[in-house]
Amino acid sequence: MYKNFFRYLISAIFLLGFSVNSNADFKVGFVYVGPTGDHGWTFQHHEGRNAVEAAGIKTTFVESVPEGADAERVIRQLAQSGHDLIFTTSFGYMDPTNKVAKDFPNVKFEHATGYKREHPNVSTYSARFYEGRTLLGHIAGKMTKTNTIGYIASFPIPEVIRGINAMTLAAQKVNPNIKTKIVWVFTWYDPGKEAEAAQALIDQGADVIMQHTDSTAPVQTAEKAGVWSFGQASDMQRFAPKSILTSIIDDWAPYYVERAIAARDGKWNQQDTWHGLKEGMVAMGPYNSAMGADLVKEVEQLQKDLASGKVHSFTGPIYDQKGNILVAEGKVADDGMLAGMSVYVKGVEGDIPK
Amino acid sequence: MSLDISFIGILIGSIMASSVPLILAASGELITERSGVLNLGVEGMMIIGAISGFALMVITDNLFIAIVGSMFSGVIISLIFGFLTQSLLTNHVATGLALTIFGIGLSAMLGKNFVGIPGKEFPILFSSLRESIPFFGPILFGHSIVLYFAFALPFLTNYFLKKTKLGLVVRAVGDSPVSASNQGINVIIVRYCCILYGGAMCGLAGAYLSLIYTPQWIENMTAGRGWIALALVVFATWSPIKVLIGALIFGGITILQLHMQAIGFRIPVQFLSALPYLMTIIVLVVISRDSRKIKLNTPTSLGRIFYKEK
Amino acid sequence: MALYFFTPFIAIILTILGGGIIFYILGFNPIEALKFYFITPISNLYGLSELLLKATPLCLIAIGLSFCFKSNNWNIGAEGQLTFGAIVGGGVALLFYNQEGFYILPLVILAGAIGGMIFALIPAILKTYFNTNEILVSLMLVYVSKLLLDYLVVGPWSNPEGFNFPETRQFSDSSRMPLLFESLRIHAGIFLALAAVMLSWFILYKTYLGFQIKVSGLSLKTAKYAGFKGKTMILVVFMISGACAGLAGVGEITGPIGQLHRMISPDYGFTAIIVAFLGRLNPFGIIFASLVVALTYLGAETAQIFLQIPKYTGQVFQGMILFFLLASDYLLFFKVKILNLKKNELRH
């Protein structure tokens, strides 16, 4: 008892230092996992921050924060220095975000791509990138001549597997003969390695390349080799104007602006957001005219249908690789299943690395 | 996968392209190490070369200036290392490490305004021959001038070290700086030159990445290739020709690994990625066990500070 | 001798001046920037506790390295020894993931230290029995251990309930370092670092082994004439160094992190080399140096939060400190030279 009292006393003295830096202005903080100059994941979050700033709200960011022991300090420092809303933009910040949230009940936290909301002031958000993958699959199935699609994958987490499955299902629908070749690079970001993976897939006969990694190297490799490719995270068209058919764009800006304004006006509530094409969190880059007017029209229609909910990326019947039914005919996969997806659907070759 | 002969040609072409930065950086570092200087700043010099090459390309719109400029900036940054280790007699290991940390930070600082700008197409030589000749086409033709230079470099380096008087001087300085000095060779000047040359080659290796291989600037884009180049010099037992072979093996492991995945083989990726480092340790053990062999291969005074009292 | 300990301060002052110039070039008010860099992070007790937390692994590793460097053994693979220690310690912690008990944490710590030690023994044994260069071997092993960690957290050790994310289960509370204060992250690991400082001071300055280490650092030949068993000593210094790095690794995973994943260390093992030099390979100097270097990390964060100064300035600072420190040694070298350097003598 006495020991505990002593500990609390000391803590109280330590915590006194906190209030010093507080500031009356409403401020939003961002924690990035990469440099703002990665032109991929972090770059897009930074664009979202710029939009919040443009909406007249003060913002701060810290870049290249490792997902180890340092993350908690940075998040805490932002909370402590008068930030009212903090976006933590990488999966690895999940536990630190919740830990800091516990100590700062008046500060709102938004954690990207995670699933833990342990305190009422923590929301999570992510985007339904798989809807974009459905469009890519449709395009790829139509555009491929060799019936081989090359896929550069990062880590075997549900988000990546969901993307592979959504793409394959859509491609099979328009072209039953397609094959998906997957290369795991076990990094989100290594331009040299991503380029080599793209080249290997091209050499293996793939004439459409897509990536679930961050750098623009794969689309540049595709451009050089004269095969089709798709941009990832941001509109990469200017890096490969001939090769890129379209890009999946992570557009965090509307969400960030909306949440920042809600928090400023005291209307912020805890939620688990999973937005897609409908809300604009997933957007498509301009379609390459090389696709032909008919295909562009078709894809634009599909995009509209996905947005309106008329079409769902995972509509049954869907089978796994062994032929077991995953989603029954006439049903669509629910969000719980999508969130935990860890098997390939029928038609994807190879095994998920374990 | 079609295992026909023309496919193997394409494969070899890919491996060659991926090994260029390793050959360039390792050949440069080899000369530096042959003179008895261990510069662990390869990664830092490469990343500086990458950003300055790219920045100059954007500013001047001239690829020649960009390439030459990247080498020049490699020289400048290695001059810091040279000045510290040769004139101020600092510890090679610590100085090289500081150079890498400094270089990564500095390149990010310089590169702030060059993110998101697409690179320029780098001219490719004999591209028509590439398509028309099976097997040999993709191996011999359709590459950038830097690749041809990189593949000639180990032979030039070998000739330089073995057949020229200057090469002999470099080796003498590396093997026994004291006796070299007694014969009237200015050890410090020779080492300075070798360090700056190493810097130039590392700068070029970085520019190959940012101008040719993945034409763009992104922070930290060398992603550890400088350390692999350091391993390569040792793997090659300080022999230029073996640098070439080693670079192809190191590059080949990566490329083949990706191909095997694409075919559908399940392979332990991390184990294969660790292979270059493990092989380097094994080579080190083999050459070091025999004291005669090590004298034949290793620059004896590697990493030692030389000081001549005036 | 006074100059020997004075030069680090010169290096720090020069770095601060150099940093001010860089800030000025980047368009920031240098005085304000430096204030946010070096003063704001530690202007409250929370900041101080974070500084100590960050300095703990740096100090531990640098203490270990000082044994190697003093005896002319260039172990630059502390990052690998840290990683391997964390793998072994983390492996033990994962064995007990659903158990509680007072004995678990000591076991985990011990396993981490042994892991680091074993990993450091590889370059040591290769050096003593195969005459290989320890700089290169220890450096290569860094990448081997990092890839091994990668393999484990992606594959066999990944959390079965973790949706394939590259991380292990959370350790049980019994495998976690006890926190010193409620709601602060500073943990019992700091006592390990302090114990290492005391112990290393005792070994280096009060024991025969310490004498051996220093003598062999001055000249291997002298050591041989004095009848020292050089091989045993090389093994011992590497083991000490590896154990310290292993402890640092285990301190991170059982302290602030609480599980294994791919990013357990932002290159502490390499940064600690700067710390060891800045601290003059002296146990108490290393405490001071670890605090200074830890401050460059924290300062880079605060400077970005308050002034939006890019984060990479931290790396530029760390590089500059070492450059200036090494350069200022030149002054020192001339003093030593007058005392004992013979003509054309080679110095390591």
Q: Using CB atoms, pick whichever of B119, B214, B269 lies closest to residue A186.
A: B269
Q: Residue B131: is its pLDDT beyond 80? A: no
| Axis crossing angle, helix C2-25 with helix C30-38, rounded to the nearest 10 | 130
pTM value is: 0.88
Q: Which of A14, A62, A339 has the CB atom closest to C184's CB atom?
A: A14
Q: Cβ of B281 and C327 within 8 Å? A: no
Q: Is B214 on the interface with A (CB under 8 A)?
A: yes
Within an 8 Å CB–CB cutoff, is residue C224 touching chain B?
no
> Within 10 Å of residue C313's Cβ, how many Cβ atoms?
25
Residues spanned by the domain of C130: 2-340
C24–chain A Cβ distance below 8 A for any pair: no
Cα nearest neighbour of C144 on chain B? B274
Q: Which residues pair with A345 in a beta bridge?
A: A320
Angstrom distance (rounded) from CA C121 to CA C295:
32
Subunit contact A193:B254, Cβ cutoff 8 A:
yes
Query: What b/e sequence results for B248-285 when a residue is b if at least 16 CB atoms lie within 10 Å of its CB, and e otherwise?
Result: bbbbbbbbbbbbbbbeeeeeebbebbbbbbbbbbebbe
Query: Is the Cβ pair C141, B90 closer than 8 Å?
Result: no
Query: Would you state the structure tokens that stand for residue C125, as one six-digit string?
Result: 């044994």
Around Cβ C161, how many Cβ atoms within 10 Å? 7
Q: Is C314 on the interface with B (CB under 8 A)?
A: yes
Average pLDDT over residues B118-134: 78
What's the CATH class of domain B5-297? mainly alpha
Count of CA atoms in the C-beta half-sphere (13 A) of A334: 1
Residue A151 β-bridge partners: A182, A210
Nearest CA distance, A260 vs chain C (angstrom): 18
Residue A328 DSSP one-character state: -
Chains touching chain B at 3 or more Cβ pairs under 8 angstroms?
A, C
Chain C segment 69-108 residues within 8 A of A by beta carbon are none
> Would you state the structure tokens that stand for residue C290, as one six-digit string?
């670890």
Domain definitions of chain B by residue range: 5-297
The answer to whether C154 contacts B304, with C-beta atoms less than 8 Å apart, is no
Judged by a CB distance cut-off of 8 A, whether residue A353 touches chain B is yes
Spell out the domain ranges in chain A. Answer: 2-127, 129-250+282-339
Minimal C-alpha gap between C262 and chain A (Å):
9
CB contact under 8 A, C154 and B98: no
Cβ partners under 8 Å of residue B72, min gap 6: B52, B200, B203
Interface test with C, best of B275, B288, B289 (most C CBs within 10 A): B288
Task: Tell me the CATH class for A129-250+282-339.
Answer: alpha beta
What pLDDT, on the 0 to 100 scale, is given for residue A195? 93
Instruction: Kindly report the backbone phi and psi dihedral angles of residue B236, in degrees, each rounded to the nearest multiple of 5, phi listed first.
Output: -80, 5
pLDDT at residue C291 in the model:
94
Amino acid at A37: G
In this complex, which of C166, C183, C306 lies closest to A103 when CB atoms are compared? Answer: C183
B&C contacts, CB < 8 Å: 163
* Interface contact A163, partner C, CB < 8 A: no
Q: Please judge whether A156 and C182 are an interchain contact, meaning their C-beta atoms are less than 8 angstroms apart.
A: no
Region class of A243: left (phi > 0), else alpha (psi between -120 and 50), else beta = alpha
pLDDT tens digits, one per residue of A213-242: 988 899 999 998 999 999 998 888 889 999
Q: Does B262 touch chain A (CB under 8 A)?
A: yes
Sign of the Cα torsion A148, A153, A158, A163 reads negative
The chains found to touch A (3+ Cβ pairs under 8 angstroms) are B, C
**Residue C155 near chain A (CB below 8 Å):** yes
- C319 domain-assigned: yes
Contacts of C263 in chain A (CB under 8 A): 66-68, 92
| DSSP category for residue A289 | G
What is the count of residue pairs from A and B with beta carbons less than 8 Å apart? 113
At A12 the pLDDT is 45
Cα-flanking dihedrals φ and ψ of residue B279, to 5°? Answer: -60, -40
Nearest to C77 by CA among C87, C64, C89, C88: C64
pLDDT over 90 at A126, yes or no: yes
* Cα of C334 to nearest chain A Cα, Å: 42
**CB atoms closer than 10 angstroms to residue A177:** 10
Count of structural domains within chain C = 1
Query: What ipTM was estimated for this complex?
Result: 0.86
pLDDT category, B115, cuts 50, 70, 90? confident
Cβ neighbour number for residue A235 with a 10 Å cutoff: 17
Q: Determine contact: A217 vs chain B, CB below 8 A.
A: yes
Quick: pLDDT tens for A46-64.
999 999 999 999 999 998 8
* Gap between the Cα atoms of A160 and C158, Å rounded: 17
| Interface-testing mutation among B220, B254, B270, with chain C (most C C-beta atoms within 10 A) | B270
Q: Is residue C348 part of a domain?
A: no
Contacts of B80 in chain C (CB under 8 A): 323
Domain A2-127 is classified in which CATH homologous superfamily?
Response regulator (3.40.50.2300)
Q: Three-state DSSP class for B216?
A: coil
Residues of C with CB below 8 A from A29's CB? 305
Helix (H, G, I), strand (E, B) or coil at C181: coil
Span B25-40, mean pLDDT? 95
Asked if the C-beta of A328 comes within 8 angstroms of chain C's C-beta atoms, the answer is: no
Evaluate whether residue C346 is within a structural domain.
no
CA–CA distance, B8 with B135 (Å, rounded to integer): 7
Taking only the tens place, the pLDDT of each residue in A290-349 is 999 999 999 999 999 999 999 999 998 999 988 899 998 888 898 888 888 888 998 887
- Break chain C down into helix, strand, coil percent, rounded to 5: 75, 0, 25
Which of A6, A13, A14, A352 is the best mutation test for C, with the most CBs of C within 10 A? Answer: A14
- Grade residue A13 by pLDDT with cuts at 50, 70 and 90: very low
Which residues on B lie below 8 Å from A226 (Cβ)? none
Q: pLDDT, tens digit, for every residue of B13-32?
A: 889 999 999 999 999 999 99
> Which one, of A18, B204, A35, lies nearest residue C300 by Cα?
A35
What is the reported pLDDT for C210? 86
The stretches of chain B forming alpha helices (DSSP H) are 5-34, 42-60, 63-82, 92-111, 127-132, 136-140, 145-163, 165-175, 177-182, 187-207, 225-235, 240-263, 269-289, 291-297
Are the beta carbons of C310 and B109 separated by less than 8 Å? yes
Per-residue pLDDT of chain C (348 residues; tens, 9 = 90+): 677 778 888 888 888 898 899 888 888 888 988 888 888 888 888 889 999 999 999 999 999 999 999 988 889 999 999 999 999 999 999 999 888 889 999 999 999 999 999 999 999 999 988 888 888 899 999 999 999 999 999 888 988 887 778 889 999 988 898 888 877 888 888 999 999 999 999 998 888 888 888 877 766 555 555 555 678 888 999 999 999 999 999 999 999 899 999 889 988 999 999 899 888 899 999 999 999 999 988 998 888 888 888 888 888 888 888 888 888 877 666 655 545 544 444 444
Question: Domain containing C94 — which CATH number?
Answer: 1.10.3470
Whether residue A347 lies within 8 A of chain B, CB to CB, comes out as no
Q: Are C7 and C278 in contact (CB under 8 A)?
A: no
> Closest Cα of chain B to A351: distance in Å?
7
- Among C195, C329, C245, which Cα is nearest to C57's? C245
Residues of chain C found within 8 Å of residue B105, distances taken between Cβ atoms: 312-319
Q: Is the dihedral of CA B309, C2, C5, C8 positive or negative?
A: negative
Q: Are A143 and A152 in contact (CB under 8 A)?
A: no
**Does C147 contact B102 at a Cβ distance shorter than 8 Å?**
no
Q: CB under 8 Å to A86, separation ≥6 — which residues?
A: A28, A29, A30, A31, A75, A78, A79, A97, A107, A108, A109, A110
pLDDT at A11 over 60: no
